[in-house]
Every structure is written in structure tokens, then in C-alpha cells.
Amino acid sequence: MRKLAVIVILLLMGIAASAQHEGIRRYFSSYTLNNDTTTDMRFYNDTTLDEFYKFMQQQKVSDNTLGLMNPGNPYLPAIFSKKPGNHDFYFLNNYQAFIKSHSDVVYFDAQKPFTRFDFTGGTKGLEIVKFIHSQNFSPYFNLTFNYDISNSNGYYLNSASKVNALYLAGAFTKKKYQNHFNFIFNKINSNENGGIANIDKFESGDIRAVDNNVILSKASSSISQLGGQYNHEYRFGQYTIDTIIRDDKHDTVLNKNLHSKFSIVHDITFDRYIRKYNDIVSSFYTNYYKDSSKTLDSTTYYQFNNKLLFCLNIHDDSTGNQMKLYAGLKNKLYIFNIDTTYKSLYNSTYITGNLIFKHNKTNLQAEADYCVFGSDAFDFNVSASLRQMFGDYLGLNAKVGYSLCHVSTFDSYYASNNFKWENDFKKNGLGTAHLDFFYEKFHLSVGANLNLLHNYIIYDYQAMPTQINKANMIVDVYINKTFNFWKFHWANEVAYQYISDKQYVRLPEVVGYTSLYFMTGMFSNALTLQIGLDAKMNSNFYGYAYMPATSVFYLQDDKKFGFYPNLGLFVGAKIKRFRIFAKLSNYGALFMKPTYFTLYRLPDNPLAFNFGISWEFYD
């Protein structure tokens, strides 16, 4: 496979170098859908070499992640505020970078068929393939297919993984009736090794990293999701027809505009999740409640969401100024099954609302949910975000929020071969605040995040859920700055993190990432070349241990780790719409002690070589 990939890369480079494409002009617009549409620039702007060498999915979440740098293996951002929100299916909390979600689906309006193909290969059988194709079958109907697949043998014994993540999305947006739908499939298969068996031998370098024994040799897990969403909106109003004179062709065209002040939105979502864990008897687990010879755990979760909203379009003009108010009801029905021994059904009804205000350089959005009756009665969540520009380059982003909700069904009740519990926990609360000042002309961003936790859940030294009634404040302050000297560029991100109660939240105090590279145009700027190095590091801390049977991170006091500079070398090139990179990661392992642990018994990858391409085209 790798030899074939090299041949394909060389062939594509030749095609790209000779192809008569028109620069990086885009023939599509793209957006996500959450009540209203929101412009999405992930594919539109993704044509440069900036950060192209960051090939792992976790690096899209944070430059500093804790856990095995392997697709389909659990991870944790080193900064608390970068952690994604809790997933509906608890077992996917630490895997969200690898999967597709309904809220993450990108819809397109493609004036020409758009296709992009990405391939990343490397040491230990790593293969990451990404493919997206979007095409308008009429001016009003678009279909998009997005498929990611990852395979890796892993750098340590029994750490192979495979991930399939795809969605099919469609948009029919003609006249008064707007339709959007998507189908999602995710599947993660991972071997679970429990970590390095002997940390001292690993750090002494007596045994090669890849030859170290691991705690579990036969354990594996799989998580799958199958889901669909249908969203449709009917807009009330009248059309006006304007005649536009086209001077260049000395003719006229008719421009039809719908003036709608009121619409009705209906959204239905269905998902089925399954998590399985298989193992044989070992000394790693203390308890065997069901079978003393083998473990075959299975958990199934069904969720059905139904939402009806009324939208009042208070103001909407051609300059982009807008004020909309959504209000309505949503119903959430979910079923939680554990093997064949436990089944529970939950049903809740919420009042929900959303305010959108855009005026000149101000963008304000606010959301609120309140459960009026059902299993989650009196749960609520409120949040507001603001983006304010003070000029062409200077601006701020701000966000505040508070939620008070029942704990997950998983934390309330669980029964497996190795773990079981039944808890009557109080509702947990989370208050958040974010403030970020940026000056784009100077490539500078300075900000802070505040998180206030109370009645929150942690997993104790036995990996059992425990509620902490004492409040815990977590604050991080950061600075991002890129220095540009001629053709040299130096990007830096440093964060300081304060945790008022470090006994229960285990994350590093200082986190840093830096990248220094040289970039220049060659052959009359037909080719852009990039050569550089990067490094990531965090301070010492008692990091979490990982429990394979339940897929949670839990407390440990056996080992502190950190202050290891993980160094990388990379080179990249861009020819029109074709990009290529090669990277040597953690080359410091050649001359430094192997102390590159990110979690307890789970080291980062040793020296590794990776390469990749990205090629996009139209028609």
C-alpha cells in the first residue's frame, strides 16, 4: 500500500505541476446548520501549507493532547477549556476528533463539482484517507459525501486501531421550502493494551519502546454509531422581482427575493450507538461479576430528538445585517441498554430558544434550553457569544454560559463484568467564560478562559464515579503570536493553567507549542516550499490513568511526567491545488531519555516518519 501511495504521489505531483488550473479560486460556498445556517470555512480556506503537517485528528482539537497519538485511541486536551462538550453517548467523550456528528456536517452550494482527496501514511502501518465530493444536481439541490478511514498497527503491543467515519448530506433550498438531511456512520475498533507494564524499564531505555510488555494482550473495544437527521423550514412571505441590467452583456436578468418575516422549522434526529468490550481474565481487574473466564460487555444507546421552532425574522437586509429569534419545543427520548440485563427509557421535553443578531461589525448569538417536564425536569443551559470588530483587524471574542443538568445515565447506573455501580448523584453545574482579544495584522491573540465546576463527576483511584461537591475553579490565560521575518515565520502558543483543586482535576500548569519554518516561492511562484521544525511540551503533573473496560480517565498518584520537549522536523510543498508534506516526529528520542509519557503508562509515539498529500479539483 505504501509503495503504491508513493507512486500515486509522484504521479499527482506531475499532473498538478502541468495542470492549467486557475490559482485557488473557489467554486463553492459551505455552511453548517444549527437552527440557522452558519458559514463554514474549513474547506474553503484549507488550501495553504499552514499547519498542513499536523496530520493527526487530535491536533485539530489541540496541539497538546494527552494519550496515544494514534487514530481511534482516547485522548484528552492538556488545557481544560479545549475539551469538547460531553457527547450524548458517554463512551465517545474521548474520541470526538475521529467521528462525524450531525452538528459538524458541512453543506455545500457547489457551482462546479468539488472533490478533495487526502492521504497520510507512515511508520507502523499508519494510513489516513479522507475523501469528500460535493455536487449540485440542480441550482437548488446538492449532495455531499464525506468519508474518512484510518488504520494503524500502533507503536506498542496490542494497540492497533481502525476508524471509519462518513456522512451523506443533502440540501434542497428552493423558494419557500428549505430541506437539509444527513446520514452518519461511525465505527471505531481499537485494541486495548492498558499501557506499558514496566515504566522503569521503558524510561531507562533498556528495552525498545515497541518491545515493551503491556498490561493487556487480548483486550479490544468497538464503538459504532448509525444516525440520521432531517431538517426542514417553511418560510412565509412574498417574492419581489427586481430587474438587473448587466452592462457587460447589454441584457437584463430577473432577481427574485423572498421577503419572509416568519418561518416554521422542524428537526428530527435519530441515533443508535453500540459499545462492546472484549477481554480474557487477567490480574489487571479486581472484580469479575458475570464471567470469570472472559469479558463480553455490551452497551446500547438509542436517542430520538424532535424539535419544532417558530422563527421571527425581525430584520434581514442585503448588507448582512440580521436579527432573528427562534423559539419552540424539543423532545428528547433515549433508551439505555446494558447487555440483556438492564433497560431504561427516558423522555424529556424542553423549551428552547435562540437569538441571532448581526449588525455591521457585531455578531451576537444567545441560546437557552429549559426542561419543563420528564426525566431531566428543570435542567437548563444558557449561553451567549459575541464577536465584535473595532476596525479591519482589531476585535474580540467573548462567551459566557451556565448549565445545571442531571448526570449522565452512565454515571448513574452501570453493570459490566468488571465494574458496576448505582448512584443517586445531584445535578452538576458548569459555569464558563471566555474572552479573547486579537489583532489580525500582527498575528496576535491574547485571552483567558474560566470554568467553574460544582457537583462534578471524577473517577477515583479505582476508576469508580465519584461526585465532588466542593467547587473547583479552572482558569487558563494564553497568548498566540506569529513573528514574520522576511521568509521566516515563528508561531507560538503558551498557556498557563490554574486549578484551584488539583486533587481532582489533573492537568499540566504550563503548556506550550512552537513552530519555526522557512517558506518561499519557487519557479516564478508556481511552487511554494516550506521547511521547519516544531516542538510541544508541558510541565510535570500527575496525569490520569486510563481504564479500558469503561473508557474513562481516572486518578493516580504513582507517577509524575512532563517537561519532555517533543521535537519534529517537517517539509511541505504546494503546487496550485496539490499539497504534500513529510514529517519526522519526536526525533529527540534518538538522543534523549524516553520519558515522553502523556498519560500514566501511555507514552507518546517514539521516533516516527509520516508523509501525506492533499489534492482538490473541480469537474
SS (H, E, C) 252-274: EEEEEEEEEEEEEEEEEEEEEEE
Closest Cα partner for 369 from 385, 356, 384, 354? 354
- Summarize pLDDT for 9-62 with one digit per residue, the tens: 445 444 444 433 344 678 899 999 998 889 998 888 777 898 999 999 999 999
User: Within a domain: residue 290?
Assistant: no
Report DSSP letters for 368-389, one per residue. Answer: EEEEEEETTTT-EEEEEEEEEE
User: Residue 22 has what pLDDT?
Assistant: 41
Backbone angles phi, psi at 205, to 5 degrees: 80, 10
User: Within a domain: residue 379?
Assistant: yes
- Summarize pLDDT for 101-160 with one digit per residue, the tens: 999 999 999 999 999 999 999 999 999 999 999 999 999 999 999 999 999 999 999 999
What pTM was computed for the model?
0.91
Q: What is the distance between the alpha carbons of residues 131 and 419, in angstroms, rounded to a whole number? A: 40
Report DSSP letters for 461-499, one per residue. Answer: TTS-EEEE-S-EEEEEEEEEEEEEETTEEEEEEEEEEEE
User: Residue 544 has what pLDDT?
Assistant: 97
Q: Count the neighbouring beta carbons within 10 Å of the beta carbon of residue 145.
A: 15
User: Within a domain: residue 505?
Assistant: yes
User: Within a domain: residue 398?
Assistant: yes
Q: Which three cell numbers stand for residue 222?
A: 468497538
Cα 572 vs. chain centroid, distance in angstroms?
24
Closest Cα partner for 602 from 277, 159, 222? 159
Q: Which three cell numbers stand for residue 580?
A: 504534500
Please check whether residue 506 is in contact with residue 516, taking contact to mean a CB–CB distance below 8 angstroms.
no
User: Within a domain: residue 595?
Assistant: yes
- For the cut 90, the answer to whether the pLDDT of residue 252 exceeds it is no
Number of domains in the chain: 1
- Summarize pLDDT for 515-543 with one digit per residue, the tens: 999 999 998 888 999 999 999 999 999 99
Mean of pLDDT values over 355-374: 96
User: Within a domain: residue 194?
Assistant: yes
User: Within a domain: residue 580?
Assistant: yes
Closest Cα partner for 127 from 598, 582, 612, 530? 612
The whole domain housing 187 covers 2-216+230-238+253-281+296-316+327-618
Banded pLDDT at 494 (limits 50, 70, 90): very high
- Summarize pLDDT for 188-243 with one digit per residue, the tens: 999 999 999 989 888 888 777 778 899 999 999 999 999 999 999 999 987 666 65
Closest Cα partner for 55 from 153, 123, 112? 123
Residues 6 or more apart in contact with residue 171 via CB below 8 angstroms: 107, 108, 109, 141, 142, 179, 180
User: Within a domain: residue 288?
Assistant: no
- Summarize pLDDT for 2-11 with one digit per residue, the tens: 554 444 444 5
The pairing of beta strand 578-585 with beta strand 28-34: unpaired
The pairing of beta strand 126-138 with beta strand 141-152: antiparallel
User: How high does pLDDT run on average in the chain?
Assistant: 91
CATH code of the domain covering residue 374: 2.40.170.20
Mean of pLDDT values over 500-520: 97
